[in-house]
Amino acid sequence: MPHDRCRRAMALAAVAAVPALVLAPPAAADGAPVSLPPLRLRMAADDTCATASATSAELRPWTHRALQLSRSWQLSRGGGVTVAVIDTGVSARTPALKGRVTAVDGAGEDCVGHGTFAAGLIAAAATGTGAVTGVAPGATVLALRGTDARGNPSAARIAAGIRAAADRGAGVIYVGQVVSGSGGSGGDGGDVADAAAYARGKDALVVAPAAPDVAPEGADGKPDTRPRAYWPAHVPSVVSVVDHGPAGTRPEAAPGALDPDLSAPGDAVVGVGVEGAGHFIGSGSSLAAAHVAGAAALLRSYLPGLSAAEVARRLQETAYPDSIPRLDAYAGLTAVLPTVRARAEARPEPARIPHTTADGTRGRALMVGGAALGVALLIGAAMVLVPLGRARRWRPAQ
């Protein structure tokens, strides 16, 4: 497929007084027909709940090759790991997640569809043609709400969801939404940061987008793409993720991200809907974070002795080197890394030179000089006597 067709960025639309944000389908995407409907991020006031897509992708999306899923599944499929999805909810009606979704406090309904789409990227099993699956199709999903019914995020909901997920034994906690605000105690960021610290104490790995899927509006009414802090991604123990497309670069005009840990496939991504076997297409850092959460589930299943911090370290140190390291799920499973970071080498002791007195040094110098003088005198005498001896044919003088 031509290179320029793979780099098509997703357009954003806003409608109604409360915007219903969607991602318009690209001109073409590897394995994704143009007719796939766009993923919705928010609901407008007059929108109705998401329904099934009438179109299915028949070819495997580019994300499968980028993450080397076929090779990774030979080692792990995420079995035995619970991934919490804190988002707009996760529909238990989607066939790709049938029997593997446990919902908390009504999170089993998803009017927006974003949470179900993200959960599918993490753990969807093959259905229909089997072209579209999640990264860890053997994992189970714990659904919790981080938004209201229309997809508007809340710091209080996200913080409560993180704590509840940690208490319920989730090994990986995916947060599909971001909040901005003060990181101080009692602020939006502070509430979420405290919850992330609580999850770390429970040995749960939190993964979150480093930026929103849609840039906030600036004072001039235009999208403000400047990097800024978002929570929970700004918490040091959280793995923060941004998106890249098939060419390995971020889409144009993507929201700025502040010091992300990883980059993962997030542009022109194909996934499941709230029901039926059809597919949608979307873009954004939240979808990239879902792929990283799936990779973390593969790791926690394959190497259950690793702590959450060790899983985070492994994901980052085995990533493909780039300006922002790119997720490599297979390398994360197979790379040989030391169990702990190597300690800094001890500073070597300075070389000890035996102490020599001035008299001793002078004596040795005189001995060496005298020996050299003696050799010189012997050579001089030989230069005189040898010719004389030859002239007399080595006979004594008369």
Residues marked active site are found at: 87, 114, 286
Please give the full DSSP string across 233-277, using - where no structure is assigned.
Answer: TTSTTSEEEEEE-TTSSPPTTPPP-SS-SEEEE-SSEEEE-SSSS
Q: How far are the Cα atoms of 10, 13, 113, 287 from residue 39, in angstroms, in the given order?
A: 11, 12, 7, 11
Q: In which element (H, E) is residue 23 found?
A: strand 22-23
CB-CB contact of 124 with 149 (8 Å) = no
Between helix 308-317 and helix 285-302 the angle, nearest 10°, is 120
Q: Are 334 and 317 in contact (CB under 8 A)?
A: no
Ranges of beta strands (E only) in 146-193 are 172-175
Whole-Å CA distances, 94 to 9, 61, 120: 28, 19, 9
User: Do residues 110 and 90 make contact, with C-beta atoms less than 8 angstroms apart?
Assistant: yes
Residue 40, CA distances (Å) to 20, 76, 181, 299 in order: 7, 31, 24, 30
Closest C-alpha among 63, 72, 53, 137 to residue 302: 72
Are 264 and 326 contacting, i.e. CB atoms less than 8 angstroms apart?
Answer: yes
Residue 315 structure tokens: 């994901």
SS3 content of the chain, % helix, strand, coil (to 5): 30, 15, 55
Which residues does 56 contact at the CB level (< 8 Å), separation at least 6?
128, 129, 131, 132, 277, 278, 279
Output the CA angle 275-39-100, nearest 5 degrees: 40
Contact 278, 54 (CB under 8 A): yes
